[in-house]
Amino acid sequence: MLCTKLGESEYISAKNMARYKLILEYDGSRYNGWQFQKDARSIQGACMDACRMVFQTERFEFYGAGRTDAGVHALGQVAHLDVAVEMPPMQIRIKLNDQLPADINILHVEKTHARFHARHDAVARSYVYQISRRRNAFGKKYLWWVKDHLDVEAMRKAAAALTGLRDFRSFSHDKDEDNSSLVKIEKLDVLEQGDLILIHIIGSHFLWKMVRRIAGILVETGRGKMTQAQVRSFLEERSDVPAQYTAPPSGLFLERVYYAGEQRVPCRCLFR
C-alpha cells in the first residue's frame, strides 16, 4: 500500500528502496482489523503513522501477510516495509515501537531482498483459537468462555473431517461464487492445556471468518448438538449453518506466518 499518491516523476526507484521484513504482535481489541481504513482505527494504520514519524516521509509502502478481522489478535503477524531510508534493523524496531501504542509491538526487523512479499510469498498461516472452560478474570478479551461441558474427543473427530484440500464455501462470509473456496488444511488439532481448549489450525490461506466458523462448529460438536456427519455435509454442499455459530473474535490469534523451507512449530497460547 503506497501511503500517498505521487506523480510519476516523484516515485522512488526500486534501487533506492530498502525492504525490511517485520514480525509483530498486537492486541486487536481496540482495532477494526488489520486493514487501513480512513475512518476507523486499524493495525496497519497505526503502523503507517509510526513509519511517518520515524522516517519523516510519506513515500513508503507497508504490507501485511494477512488481514485479521476486528477484535482478532496476532502473536506473529508478518509485514514488509519499503522505504528510501537506510537504517539498522534494530534501530527501526526501537524507533517504531517508541511511536506505536502499547498494544502493538514490533518483535523483529530484518533487511530482506527486494522481491520478498509478506503476503504473496507466504505458504501457510497458523491460527490458534482459545476456549476457556472456566470464568477468567483476566482473559475476557483473549478467550471464549464456554460454560457447557465440551467433549474434546468428539471435537477432534469432527476436526479430522476438515483436514486436507476441501471446499470451505459453507464457512466463508464471501458469497461471490466466482471466488475459489478451496483451502488446504495441513493440520487441525484440538488440544487441552489446563482449563483451556486450543484449536490449532494451519492452512494454505483462510477465507473471511472461516477460522471462527470452524471453531464455532467444533464447539457445537463438543456440546453434543452437532454430529460428525453434519460437519462433513458442510463440505459437500453450501450451507448457512456455520455462519450461525461464528465464534467471537476475542479468542482468535494469528499465531505465525510460514514461508518456504520453514518447519512447522508446536502451538503457542497466551495463557497457561
Residues annotated catalytic, as ranges:
69
Strands of the chain, DSSP E: 18-26, 60-64, 73-83, 104-112, 122-132, 144-145, 164-167, 182-193, 196-203, 252-259
CA-to-CA distance for 23 and 128, rounded, in angstroms?
17
Residue 81 CA to residue 20 CA, distance in Å, equals 5
Q: Which of 169, 38, 7, 29 is nearest to 103 (CA)?
A: 29
And the C-alpha cell for 35?
A: 486493514
154: three-class secondary structure by DSSP: helix
From the CA atom positions of the chain, what is the Rg in Å?
Answer: 20
Inter-residue contact 122 to 76 (CB < 8 Å): no
In angstroms, rounded to a whole number, what is the distance separating the alpha carbons of residues 96 and 106? Answer: 7
DSSP single-letter state for residue 40? B
Contact 70, 78 (CB under 8 A): no
* Separation CA 168–CA 218 (nearest Å): 15
C-beta separation of 188 from 266 below 8 A? no
Which residue in this structure is represented by grid cell 509483530? 24
